[in-house]
Amino acid sequence: MRHGVKKNQFKGGRDANRSIERKLLVAFLEHGQLEITIKRAKALRQSIDILAGKAKRGQESDKNVLLRRLGKTAMVSYMIDTVGPALSDRESGYVRIVSTSMRMGDNVKLARISWVKPVTAFRSNKAGDKSIAKIEKEPTASKPEKKAEPKTFANKKVIKSVKKELPSKQMSKRIKV
């Protein structure tokens, strides 16, 4: 029975709730704040409070819980190395929810969720970081770059023969000159 148990959940079942929660957690850690519906913000606040408490302790069992909930080892090390020390003097209440406005279209109340204390946002090793690393490398003996030539049809006779065989409607769909 569920007597006295109140938990903010989403519609869609257990797997959908877990995937939405994980996506919201990762997005919040990457950006430091989110503007989402109030219901999602309240559900996210509960899980962030739990995970931030685990990150403060930093034991091996806490790392396993963080890895299970976040799914990325880089996120786990970010939580333990950055979030834990930044929030070490607080017991709970690591995030703040501020009601912002109503969403156009369906009139749902929106809220901004952010850290109570300043915490640097997570930076992942995506294409942006890789391109910076490539620029910083010293150029070695490289070949001269070739200029891209405009695309042209190699054999115009083949196109003319195809035009004769196909009716005009099919021709406009298949070949665009």
Please give, one letter per residue, the 3-state secondary structure of the chain.
CCCCCCCCCCCCHHHHHHHHHHHHHHHHHHHCEEEEEHHHHHHHHHHHHHHHHHHHHCCHHHHHHHHHHHCCHHHHHHHHHHHHHHCCCCCCCCEEEEEEEECCCCCCEEEEEEECCCCCCCCCCCHHHHHHHHHHCCCCCCCCCCCCCCCCCCCHHHHHHHHHHCCHHHHHHHCCC
This model's pTM is above 0.75? no
Domains of the chain: 13-126 (3.90.1030.10)
83 or 126: which leads in pLDDT: 83
58 or 175: which leads in pLDDT: 58
> Using one digit for the tens of pLDDT, what is the confidence trace for 1-43?
778 877 767 777 888 888 888 999 999 998 989 999 999 999 9
Provide the pLDDT for residue 147: 64
